[in-house]
């Protein structure tokens, strides 16, 4: 049961690997020992979630980046009279000002903005989890 829990968690959202969730693959003699060892480590680690092929660390929150909102906010960021409408936008605006995005040309600014938006989304998710 531990092996199936582990590999279902790992492969459930992976279209290519999901096809291998079958007894022959999971319990075949060539794979079973390796999967069992990995499943035991996963279990001891508290059964973390797997998001986009990566195991989350303890206390880490999975986030989904809304690229449409991110890109729209970038275009509005330095517009006169624009105010943030949610916590991610507030945090991203603060981080962008600290990073000096307004003094950069568009291509490097957009590259920096993507990282800033991710950082703001992670911070907002952590804040939301501590409030609950």
More confident residue, 113 or 52: 113
Q: What is the pLDDT of residue 113?
A: 96
pTM, entire model: 0.61
Token pair of 23, please?
């007894």
Tell me the pLDDT of the chain averaged across its residues: 88
Average pLDDT rounded to a whole number, residues 80-91: 91
Statement: residue 131 has pLDDT above 70: no
Residues 6+ apart with CB under 8 A from 93: 77, 84
Share of the chain above pLDDT 90, in %: 42
Closest C-alpha to 121, from 54, 59, 61: 61
More confident residue, 81 or 113: 113
Q: What is the pLDDT of residue 103?
A: 92
Average pLDDT rounded to a whole number, residues 83-104: 93
What's the rounded Cα separation, in Å, for the pair 50 and 79? 38
More confident residue, 90 or 29: 90
């Amino acid at each position: 049961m531990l092996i199936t829990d582990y590999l279902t968690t790992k492969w459930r959202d992976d279209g290519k690997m999901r096809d291998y969730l079958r007894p022959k693959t999971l319990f075949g003699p060539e794979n079973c020992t390796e999967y069992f060892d990995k499943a035991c480590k996963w279990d001891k680690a508290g059964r973390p979630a797997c998001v986009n092929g990566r195991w989350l660390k303890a206390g880490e929150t999975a986030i989904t980046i809304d690229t449409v909102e991110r890109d729209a906010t970038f275009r509005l960021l330095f517009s006169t009279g624009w105010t943030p409408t949610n916590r991610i936008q507030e945090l991203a605006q603060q981080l962008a000002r600290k990073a000096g995005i307004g003094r950069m040309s568009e291509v490097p600014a957009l590259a920096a903005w993507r990282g800033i938006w991710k950082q703001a989304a992670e911070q907002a998710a952590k804040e939301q989890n501590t409030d609950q």
